[in-house]
Amino acid sequence: MKTVIHTENAPAAIGPYSQALAFDKLVFTSGQLPLDPVTMAFVEGGVKEQAYQSLKNLKAVLEQAGAGTDTVLKTTCFLANMEDFAVFNEVYTEVFGTEAAPARSCVQAARLPKDALVEVEAIAFIK
């Protein structure tokens, strides 16, 4: 049976979806945008700041599910501009490291919700 995951420490869904769903020992997150969960506005700055916020939001959802960045198996990362790949990687490496980093896909999207520069989703196991 699936369990809906919701936390006030990440932005509320801006459409008909859940922040994440858990099934058995797995959690599947929705894409996390760089929104401040209180103001629901983008954080100030560029791709680096947006990457930090998206990953901070992802961490909050994972922790609510009983998982964490250390239990992420796979991420899918969306960038508005692949020219930002190196900057995004710097932030991503700070969060996930390089040893045993999750499997990952990273693609340029024609347009992200609310014109975000970054969006990240994950599949993780629950501790």
Residues forming the active site:
106
User: Considering just the CA atoms, what is the radius of gyration of the chain in Å?
Assistant: 14
Do 48 and 31 contact (CB within 8 A), yes or no?
Answer: no
Do 69 and 122 contact (CB within 8 A), yes or no?
Answer: no
Do 91 and 58 contact (CB within 8 A), yes or no?
Answer: no
The C-alpha atoms of residue 101 and residue 50 are separated, in whole angstroms, by 20
**Which residue matches tokens 């869904």?**
13
Can you name the residues that pair with 91 across neighbouring β-strands? Answer: none
